[in-house]
Structure 1
Amino acid sequence: MKKWILMAGSAALAVSQISLAFADNIPASLIKKAQQEGEVVSVGMPDSWANWKETWHDLKTKYGINHRDTDMSSAQEIATFAAQKNNATADIGDIGFGFAKVAKAKGILQPYKPTTWNDIPDWAKDPDGYWAMGYTGTIAFIVNKNLVKHIPHSWHDLLKGKYRVTIGDVGSAAQANNAVLAAAIANGGSEKNIEPALKFFAKLAKQGRLATNDPSIANLEKGEVAVGIMWDFNALNYRDQINRNRFAVLIPSDGSVMSGYVSIINKYAPHPWAAKLTREYIFSDAGQINLARGYARPIRTDVKLPADVKDKLLPNSEYKNAQPIKDFKVWQQNAKRLPQLWQSQVLIYQQ
């Protein structure tokens, strides 16, 4: 875990010089303290999600910081921080925007503002530095062309098919919750009125077409997902990892929702300086480009993306009917009610 610290004489100096060479505007004192800890432990930040893999690789090669992750939903991340407290195992997490204020209210976060703080829009960060959005995502469809003859381009199209539709763990996972909101918006609803979405998915359940599995890369590769509803960055990433020609990825033409994920640092983090260095890197130019390589749209619009990275993303025309969350407070309240509403108004019809 900390073997690099034990390197003697000139070798240790070389590592230090290499790290500082990559530091950009990151404070040298922060780098030094993080290197003394030698490790960062994350939750909900697996290699396959939004290209975290390259960020973990960079932290290792540039600063000598080792990394471990346990994949979790947003709700599970918050519960883990709250339950472990002084016996914490995790340092940093990545949770859906809708969970950000919940996490802060529980008193389980510690604040840290990276040096690029002023480049992050005000709406996408906590004024005290307890959380900040690193990237945005828009709810998309991923379609297995081997299983679906007529590709659905809208929510309306989904109801006309014979294939099963996979949404994931509604009530727990931010991705699945936002899929519900996207369906609501496309069918005349809003953050305040998600009834159209519940009715929509109830119709799928009554048809026996609502799948209960998760739209994970493993399930997609095995052919167990005909149509998955997920963030665009995940859908594009999974498509290219498995077989670009096997899947179609699109934003539903009749409406979708744009949101994002925020960085949180555990108040009880066993490696707090490494966690802060990680946040610094996430919001640096290099970290933002890493996220874009994972098909996520960086929150910092001042970062210039390389041409090959731009080519990974969907064209802007796909997003013409996607809208950001307009009433965050109301959506947060409805998101809390989703587990019960999903059970009583959708899963009750599951066949």
Structure 2
Amino acid sequence: MFSMKDSATRRKILASGGAVLGGSLAGCLSGGDSGSGTGDGDTGGGTTGTGGDGTAGGSGSCSGETYEVGYGDSQTTVCSDAFPTDEKLYVYAVQSGWMNWPEVMQAFKEQYGVQLNDDDRSSGEALQDARSHAQNPTHSAFNGGYTYAIQAMQDGLTQAYKPANWDKVPDSAKTDNGHCTGTRKVTTALTYRKDLFEERGLDEPQTWEDLKHPDIMQDLALQTPQAAVGLAAALSINNAYGGSLDDVQPVIDYYNEIQDGGAEFTDNFLAQFTSGEYGSFIRYDYSGLDLKYNVEDIAEENVGVALLEGPNGEAGAFNALYGYAMLANAPNPEAVKKFMDYVLSLEGQRKFLKAYARPIRASEMEMPDEFPPQSRYDKTQFTVDQSALVENQETIIQDITRGAGL
């Protein structure tokens, strides 16, 4: 795994009235709540002492610490006696190499004594596994692409839990029934080797059409739409070429063309990118920025991050929402509630920002200067109606997979 370096001097991750990069999300699936939260705006709220058995109003004794968790009608008290000590807390797709989850996991373990499982899988793989274990859940929460969490809810796999600071989440990034809550946002982008592009006489790409250059296609890596990051890329390209949620032929045609030119669909390409085997890859803006500024295995000046548009100026950078949902009948419900609170606390949110994934509470923070110019986000970024995407998502994935031979 890549080593990380201290880049605190690069960032200004302070609680303030800074602007949110990238604009607001469209396609509301939600509504507000007039209740009051228990969190203190930092770690989600907590007390020490006796009382509580892991549920509100419990009569059992607690020899450890008790914590007030949740927001509004989800408010309750949990006791650390119920936290797993000889086993791990399993949350889907909380994994190394992704959005700084390792630091989140480490901080949670240090503060609350609970070790998270390093769950290496995509959102689509997580959803399939949750479905297969619906009668006997192995994980306590679903984490991943927001529309995949919505699908889990629609499958009856989730339960209501509004984490502390739920009221700080925009209405468009949560369901009013408390099942699904957004935690961070990222935007589809191209990451490329500036040194290799310069050797080949290539300028920084500005459009998706630019990627059809033979010297770019030959060692371009991207992911299939079964993963949330791959679906975001497909939606970006499809929109850039005039497609819609009901018409994905543009991205199918694009994928067939770039595959003929040498582009590869793979989940494992970061090591090959640093070694120069791949000259570019399509993922998210955070992916390239984290690689550029936080990884020692490649020189900062050799990494470029580009937000792309369509050949005629169409928006081509999908703004993707990620979030979580507590699973029904999940093991370790007390611990996972505390973990979900921690992720939505300012402390937890800042850890995403250290990897350049934009926290859902970004309006309370100042964004680092290393992001591409806001004008570029304004020109290229777009969203889709979340409910329409959920309705069409499985068909979209299947159509692209078959049409592009993935």
**TM, length-normalised to structure 1:** 0.83
Q: CA-to-partner distance for each residue in 1:114-134, whole Å, 9 max, x for gaps?
A: 121111111100111111110
Which amino acid in the other structure matches residue 285 of structure 2?
A: D
Measure the CA separation in 1 of the matches of 2:129 and 2:223: 21
Contact persistence 2:161–2:325 (CA under 8 A) = no
Contact persistence 2:192–2:279 (CA under 8 A) = yes
Contact persistence 2:224–2:401 (CA under 8 A) = no
Which amino acid in the other structure matches residue 94 of structure 1?
A: N
Would you say 1:49 and 2:98 are equivalent positions?
Answer: yes
Q: CA-to-partner distance for each residue in 1:213-271, whole Å, 9 max, x for gaps?
A: 22543332343322211111122223332322222112114421112111122223221
Structure 2 residue matching 1:99: 3-state secondary structure: helix
Contact persistence 1:46–1:71 (CA under 8 A) = yes
Would you say 1:184 and 2:233 are equivalent positions?
Answer: no
Measure the CA separation in 1 of the matches of 2:322 and 2:271: 22
Give the match for residue 75 of structure 1: 124
Contact persistence 1:136–1:298 (CA under 8 A) = yes
Structure 2 residues not aligned, in runs of 5+ = 1-39, 48-66, 70-76, 311-315
Give runs of aligned pairs for residues 57-206 of structure 1, distance below 5 A. 57-85=106-134, 87-148=136-197, 149=200, 150=202, 151-163=204-216, 164-170=219-225, 172-206=226-260
Of 87-96 and 272-281, the range deviating more from structure 2 = 87-96
Task: After TM superposition, give the deviation of residue 86 of structure 1 in Å.
Answer: 5.1
Task: After TM superposition, give the deviation of residue 203 of structure 1 in Å.
Answer: 1.7
Measure the CA separation in 1 of the matches of 2:278 and 2:238: 22
Would you say 1:267 and 2:328 are equivalent positions?
Answer: yes
Measure the CA separation in 1 of the matches of 2:292 and 2:214: 21
Q: Percent identity?
A: 24
Which amino acid in the other structure matches residue 89 of structure 2?
A: V
Task: After TM superposition, give the deviation of residue 330 of structure 1 in Å.
Answer: 3.2
Task: After TM superposition, give the deviation of residue 56 of structure 1 in Å.
Answer: 1.0
Of the candidates 276, 279, 301, which is equivalent to residue 245 of structure 1? Answer: 301
Q: CA-to-partner distance for each residue in 1:267-308, whole Å, 9 max, x for gaps?
A: 232211111111111111111111111111111244224xxx
Structure 2 residue matching 1:188: 3-state secondary structure: coil
Task: After TM superposition, give the deviation of residue 204 of structure 1 in Å.
Answer: 1.2
* Aligned CA distance change for structure 1 residues 26 and 78 (closer, same or farther; 3 Å): farther
**TM, length-normalised to structure 2:** 0.73
Of 80-89 and 291-300, the range deviating more from structure 2 = 80-89
Structure 1 residue matching 2:95: 3-state secondary structure: coil
Q: Report the RMSD for the aligned CA atoms in angstroms.
A: 2.4
Task: After TM superposition, give the deviation of residue 65 of structure 1 in Å.
Answer: 1.8
Aligned length, in residue pairs = 323
Contact persistence 1:35–1:274 (CA under 8 A) = no
Of 52-61 and 310-319, the range deviating more from structure 2 = 310-319
Measure the CA separation in 1 of the matches of 2:119 and 2:243: 35
Measure the CA separation in 2 of the matches of 1:193 and 1:320: 24
Measure the CA separation in 2 of the matches of 1:26 and 1:314: 38
Which amino acid in the other structure matches residue 175 of structure 1?
A: V
Measure the CA separation in 1 of the matches of 2:81 and 2:274: 38
Contact persistence 1:75–1:173 (CA under 8 A) = yes
Measure the CA separation in 1 of the matches of 2:369 and 2:381: 22
* Aligned CA distance change for structure 1 residues 274 and 159 (closer, same or farther; 3 Å): same
Structure 1 residues not aligned, in runs of 5+ = 1-19
Q: CA-to-partner distance for each residue in 1:156-176, whole Å, 9 max, x for gaps?
A: 111123233222122x10110
Give the match for residue 36 of structure 1: 82
